[in-house]
Amino acid sequence: MEHLLIPKHLSIIMDGNGRWAEKKNLPRFEGHKAGLKAVRMVTSESIKAGIKYLTLYAFSTENWKRPQEEVSSLMNLFQEIIEKEKKDLLDNRIKVMFIGQREKLSLPLRLAMTNIEEETKHNSNLVLNIAINYGGRAELCSALKSIGEIILQGNIVPSQITQNLISEHLFTAGLPDPDLLIRTGGELRISNFLLWQIAYTELWFTKTFWPDFSKKQFWQAINDYEKRVRKFGGKI
């Protein structure tokens, strides 16, 4: 089913878990747990579609503002999921990567992350890139700090800073920019996701809460993307 017009890199803001649970009179945490089903679905459909990179926004640098109970249950859930999904990820030859600042995460979670990255690093079916404690602005700050160090060491002068150099110092170094960004949950905003990388990304929004995001909607987004005319500022 591989297709020239299929996005090479799909990114998703998986939003609406809390409201999904509240609507059902369940604790918000149940919404986060229920979101795993949609993660599995988009991962396997992405492989079928021929998508090569799938980036999922799981936790932002601003999500620490939430009640401590919600934050810690989410962190435990991430660790559990990584451990539980390992076999399937290996069987499906998926390469797992994480973007975001890891220092603030618990040691057991960080170990689970580096372990799955290490074990899956030679896989090439799909790159599954998960954003945990990720913020676009924090990412740009850290890129500027590393470039500042390179300048201080005398390796380059400021006039040699290029767009490529900046891209190479982001957490997403080596990945192409996303072609398509899907946001579920009804909000029409970016919420600090991939600010630099989405300069020319096609955007697709749905009101559906993340745990209810279906195969049908996944393919609807892909079909809509195929009809978009991408101009990158030029004339077609």
Which residues carry out catalysis? 15, 63
- The token pair at 206 is 């749905």
CB 13 within 8 A of CB 192: no
Whose structure tokens read 């990114």? 11
**Alpha carbon 176 to its chain's center:** 13
Ranges within 8-27 binding ligand IPE (CB under 6 A):
13-19
Burial 154-164 (b: 16+ CB within 10 A, else e): eeeeeeeeeee
Q: Binding segment for ligand IPE among 93-101, 146-154, 181-189, 214-222 (CB under 6 A)?
A: 181-189
Per CB under 6 A, the list member of 53, 59, 78, 218 interacting with ligand IPE is: 59
CB 1 to Mg ion: min, Å: 32
Q: Does 212 bind Mg ion (CB under 5 A)?
A: no
What whole-number distance in Å separates Cα of residue 220 and Cα of residue 56? 18
Q: Does 74 bind ligand IPE (CB under 6 A)?
A: yes
Q: Does 178 bind ligand IPE (CB under 6 A)?
A: no
Q: Which is nearer to ligand IPE, 7 or 185 (CB)?
A: 185
Angle between helices 107-120 and 68-91 (to 10 degrees): 20
CB 126 within 8 A of CB 94: yes
Q: Binding segment for ligand IPE among 57-65, 96-104, 109-117, 150-158 (CB under 6 A)?
A: 57-65
CB 193 to Mg ion: min, Å: 12
Q: Does 191 bind ligand IPE (CB under 6 A)?
A: yes
* Interface with Mg ion (CB under 5 A): 15
